[in-house]
Amino acid sequence: MSAWLLSLEGTPAGHQLAMALALLAAVLHAVFGALQKGRHDPWLTRGAIDISYGLIAAPLALFVVPWPAPNMWPIFAGAFVIHTAYKLLQAMAYSRGAYTVVYPVVRGTGPLFTVIGAWLLFGEVFTPVQWLGVAVLLAGIFGLAVYNLIHITLERETLNMALALAVFTGLFVALYTTYDAYGIRATPDPFTFLMWFFMIDGVAMPILAALRWRSMAPPVRPPLAPLMARGAIGAVVAFFSFGAVMMATRLDKVGEAAVLRETSTVFAALIGWLVLRETVGPRRIALMSLIALGAIIVEMGG
């Protein structure tokens, strides 16, 4: 499997597979965000997800994939710090603001800085047409956030703080996207990076979630069984969501994969409407169409 994937690097087939993986990551990342914002406290949900995917990845990392070379340990340490900071910021934002306001700001801040980071780190260059696509996509994403901000009625008193946290979270999205791309390219076998990343990344949040769960009074404290069931589902989603976009950045351009992944905002709005019962009207549909159009322009302009 690894040899076949590596043979596709830099080829037209690799480009097509990378774009398909980025779109898969977009759909699954919207599902992942809804899981964290949904029924349970986002801190607890994230802890349940992380311990689940850490336990799933551990036997694969230790006994199946090749072990990392010595140069990978500092890279894993950096990834652990960046992803932990991202998850802390994301949980704080979700606990203070409505999903359909916070999520577009997080995802809209990410791609612009990811494209810049890919240029600085990997020498990737976007064409003028692709930059137009980025502008269209960002207009749709931030337009959606502004529209939601105007019309939202829930959690208004904490919304300004939620938006500030969402911007900082988006910066860490850009940081982890470019850093993970560097990490997965630094190891001969991409599955080594993926499995060891998930095992190491599953350490911090479960500890914080356990402390938070223990501090809750019994009427508020959720039972563990449904919480862990949600965590197990989220772990599977995370494997395919984060794994897909990491693999896409190994096969092809980091910037293009990052931009296509941000069509997750469209899927997030649909989930917010269908699952979380948040309203969707013609203006929001138009803004979501802008997001999709921007992604298409980026892809066609390459």
pLDDT of residue 56: 95
Structure tokens given for 38: 């949904």
Neighbours of 158 (CB within 10 A): 15
Q: Give the pLDDT mean for 44-57.
A: 92
Which of 3-7, 120-124, 127-131, 195-199 is predicted least confidently?
A: 3-7
CA–CA separation, 3 and 299 (whole Å): 26
Q: What is the mean pLDDT of the chain?
A: 84
pTM of the model: 0.83
Q: Give the pLDDT mean for 34-57.
A: 83
Interior angle at CA 286, CA 284 and CA 288, nearest 5: 70
CA–CA separation, 49 and 217 (whole Å): 22
CA–CA separation, 143 and 154 (whole Å): 19
pLDDT of residue 277: 67
Site of tokens 């359909």: 100
Neighbours of 295 (CB within 10 A): 27
Q: Give the pLDDT mean for 151-155.
A: 65
Distance of CA 48 to the CA centre of its chain: 17
Q: Give the pLDDT mean for 31-57.
A: 82
pLDDT band of 201, cuts 50, 70, 90:
very high
pLDDT band of 204, cuts 50, 70, 90:
very high
Kindly report, residue by residue over 74-126, the tens digit of the pLDDT.
999 999 999 999 988 988 887 787 776 777 777 777 777 788 888 888 888 88
Neighbours of 153 (CB within 10 A): 6
Amino acid in the structure at residue 161: M
Res 162 pLDDT > 90: no
Structure tokens given for 286: 């138009």
Neighbours of 150 (CB within 10 A): 8
Res 278 pLDDT > 80: no
- How far lies 195's CA from each of 53, 63, 150, 229, in Å? 10, 11, 42, 21
3-state secondary structure 180-218: HHHHHHCCCCHHHHHHHHHHHHCCHHHHHHHHHHHHCCC
